Amino acid sequence: MSTDPGTPTFAPVIAGSAIAAGDAAATPTTSKNVARVGGAVNPSADALKQAFGAGVRRVDVVWGETTVYVDVARAHEVIQWLHDEPSQRYDYLSDVTAVEFRDLEQPIEVVWHLRSLPFRRFIRIKAQIEKGQKLEVPSVWDIYRGADWLERECYDMFGIRFVGHPDLRRLLMWEQYKEGYPLRKDFPARGRFSRSEQLRQALAANPEARYSKEELSIADAFEDLPEDMKRRLGTGERVGE
Amino acid sequence: MGLTPRPESSPRIVQTHSDEPWITTRLDAFVNWGRKNSLWPMPFGTACCAIEFMATAASKYDLARFGMERQAFSPRQADLLICAGRVPFKLAPVLRRIWQQMPQPKWCISMGACASSGNGIFDNYAVVQGIDNIIPVDVYVPGCPPRPEGLIYGIMMLQKKVENERSSDKSLRHELEPDPKSQLYLAPQVIDELSEPFGNSVQQTRSGL
C-alpha cells in the first residue's frame, strides 16, 4: 500500500505524559471508599463551564466519575473543544450510547464517554433530548473515527439519528429489520412480529449479499474477492435487500 | 420406520474349503456400521456450549473414540452438524445454508437448551426458538450447557439411530421444502400459537410496564 502524503504520521500517546511532575495524579492509584454522589470533580468540568457558560447545564459526580450535561445543539462543539484544547486533550472516545428511562416523562439521554490519556482523566458527556423533540444529535465521527460503529449501534438500538455520520445503517440487527428499535422501552421483548414472520424474514436474507462494495473497499478486501463476486458487487447488486 | 420387524443383521462367518473365512451380512448393516463409526462432526459453536464441545473433543473425553477424530470445518466434508449455542435470527440463513451445503447422508445434533428450544431466557426478539425451526434435528441434548457426558450420550444415541437406518426408507434422505399438503405441515399461525405460551408477543411485556 502506498503512503498517502496527506496521512498524518503515527505519534504514540504516553499515558499521563501531560501531568505536571508534582501533581498527585502523576502516579495512578486505585481510589477507595468512593462516595456514591459527590467527591472530587474532574477539573475539565470547570473549564467547560468557563468556556461554554449556559451551554453546560449541570455537573454531577457519581461514583467518583464526572458527568456533564450539555445542550444537544452544542454537544458537538463541546466534544470538539475537549478534543482540541491543549489543556484537555480528550483523545479517546470509549463509548457512545443512550439511556431511555421507564418514566416516560424523562428525556432520552445520549451519552459520550471520553478519556484523556495524557491527563489520565475520564469525563461523561450527556445530552438530553426532550420529549417531542426529534431524536437527532450531531455525530462526532469527524472528531473520532472510532465513533463510526458506536453511533451505528446506538442508531440500531435506539433509533437516534447521528447527523453527519457518513454511513448510518443498522449494525447488530440486519439492515432490512423492520420491527423498530429493540432497546426502546415501548419495544416488546419478543419483537413486534410473530415468530413465523420473523423467521420468514430472517431466512429470506441472502447471507452472501450482506456487504456493500463500499464496505469491502474500506477493508481493502475487494481486490481479493473471486471474479464473479467482484462482478456482482461492481454493478451495485445487493441481493439481500 | 421403527415399526417393521428387522431382519437379523449380525454377520455370519462362513467357513469355506480354503483357509480364508468370509462373512455374509445385510448391506444396510454393513454400511451403517461404517457410517456410525466415522461420523465427521462439524461444530457450529455460537456460545458456551461450544466450550463444552471443545472439552468433549479434547483428550479427557476424547471424541476420537467415536470415530470423530477429524473435525470437519467445512460443511462439504461433514456428516454431522453439532449446533452448540443459541442462534440469532441474523445467523438463521447462515445455518440453513451450511446445512444445505452438507452432502447426504447427514445428521444434526442440537446441543444445549438454547439450540433446542431457545432456553426460555432467550425468548426475545433476536433469538431463534430452537434450530428445528430452520433445519431438521436428529438428537436433542438437554443441558445449559450439557456436560461432555451428556453430549457423548447424545452422540451414542445418534449412532444407534444411524445403525437402525434402512436404505429402503427413501424418506430419510429426502430434503423437502415444507409442503402444505403434507400431514406434518403446520400452518404459520399454528406455529405461532404453539411457540407463544404466554400469549401474543405484541401484547406481552416482561417488565410489567
A205 touches chain B (CB under 8 A): yes
**A169 neighbors A119 (Cβ within 8 angstroms):** no
Gap between the Cα atoms of A185 and A107, Å rounded:
12
Indicate the residue of B97, B124, B207 with minimum beta-carbon distance to A207: B97
**Sorting pLDDT into bands at 50, 70 and 90, what band is A228?**
confident
Q: What is the pLDDT of residues A141-190, one digit of tens each?
A: 999 999 999 999 999 999 999 999 988 888 888 877 888 899 998 888 88
Q: Is B73 a residue whose pLDDT tops 70?
A: yes
A205 contact residues in B (CB cutoff 8 A): 90, 93
A238 pLDDT more than 80 = no
Give which of A93, A130, A92, A94 is closest to A109, Cα–Cα.
A130
Q: Say if the Cβ atoms of A189 and B126 lie within 8 Å.
A: no
Q: Which residues of A touch B126 (CB under 8 A)?
A: 173, 182, 191
End-to-end CA distance of chain A: 33
Cα(A178)–Cα(A201) distance, integer angstroms: 9
**CATH number for the domain formed by residue range(s) A13-172:** 3.30.460.80
Is A195 in contact with B201 (Cβ distance < 8 A)? Answer: yes
Domain range summary for chain A, segments of one domain joined by +: 13-172
Of B92, B192, B201, the CB nearest to A188: B201
Q: What is the pLDDT of residues B127-172, one digit of tens each?
A: 998 898 888 899 999 999 999 999 999 999 999 999 988 888 877 7
- The more confidently predicted of residues B2 and A219 is A219
Task: Specify whether the CB–CB gap between B42 and B11 falls below 8 A.
Answer: no
**DSSP category for residue A37:** B
Return the SS3 of A114: strand
Cβ atoms of B112 and B151 closer than 8 Å: no
Higher pLDDT, A37 or B201: A37
Residues A3-61 have pLDDT tens digits of 455 666 777 888 888 888 777 777 778 888 888 998 888 889 999 999 998 889 999 99
Given an 8 Å threshold on Cβ–Cβ distance, is A189 in contact with B204?
yes
Residue B189 pLDDT > 80, yes or no? no
CB contact under 8 A, B126 and A203: no
Is the confidence at residue A208, as pLDDT, over 80? Answer: no
Q: Does residue B182 have a pLDDT over 70? A: no
- Report CB contact under 8 Å: A196, B188: yes
Q: Rounded to whole angstroms, how far apart are CA atoms A63 and A75? A: 23
Note the pLDDT tens digit of each residue in A78-105. 999 999 998 989 999 999 999 999 888 8
B192, A200 Cβ separation under 8 angstroms: no
Give the strands of the sheet with B107-111, arranged side by side. B41-45, B80-84, B107-111, B139-141
What is the predicted pLDDT for the residue at B208?
A: 42
Residue B124 to residue A191, Cβ atoms within 8 A:
yes
Q: Which residues of B touch A179 (CB under 8 A)?
A: 125
Chain centre distance of CA B82: 6
pTM of the model: 0.76
For A120-131, the DSSP string reads TEEEEEEEEE-T
Which of A152, A84, A79 has the alpha carbon at shortest distance from A113? A79
B90/A198 CB distance under 8 A: no
Average pLDDT on B25-35 reads 89
CA distance A154 to A147: 10
Q: Does B208 touch chain A (CB under 8 A)?
A: no
Cα angle: B99, vertex B104, B105; to 5 degrees: 110
Q: List the alpha helices (DSSP H) in chain B.
A: 27-36, 48-57, 92-101, 112-117, 148-163, 188-195
Helices A75-84 and A43-52: crossing angle in degrees, nearest 10, is 120
Which grid coordinates are listed for B84?
A: 452448540
CA A115/CA B57 separation, integer angstroms: 43
Give the model's pLDDT for residue B184. 61
Q: Are A188 and B89 an interchain contact pair (Cβ–Cβ within 8 Å)?
A: no
Cβ neighbour number for residue B84 with a 10 Å cutoff: 27
Record: contact B97-A174, CB cut-off 8 A: no
Question: What is the C-alpha to C-alpha distance for residues A231 and A224, in angstroms, rounded to an integer?
Answer: 13
Question: Is residue B188 reached through a cis peptide bond, with omega within 30 degrees of 0 on the bond before it?
Answer: no
Quote ipTM for the complex. Answer: 0.72
Alpha-carbon gap: B91 to the closest alpha carbon of chain A (Å): 8
- Rounded Cα distance, A90 and A19, in Å: 13
CB pairs under 8 A between A and B: 78
Nearest CB neighbour to B195, from listed A195, A200, A206: A195
> Does residue A234 surpass a pLDDT of 80?
no
A156 contact residues in B (CB cutoff 8 A):
none
List all residues of chain B from 108 to 127 with a beta carbon under 8 Å from chain A: 123-126
Grid coordinates representing A16 are 499521563
List A74's β-bridge partners, or say none: none
The answer to whether residue A66 scores a pLDDT higher than 60 is yes
Domains, chain B: 24-169 (3.40.50.12280)
pLDDT for residue A2: 45
Q: What is the pLDDT of residue B199?
A: 45
Neighbour tally for A70: CB within 10 Å: 22
B129·A205 Cβ contact <8 A: no
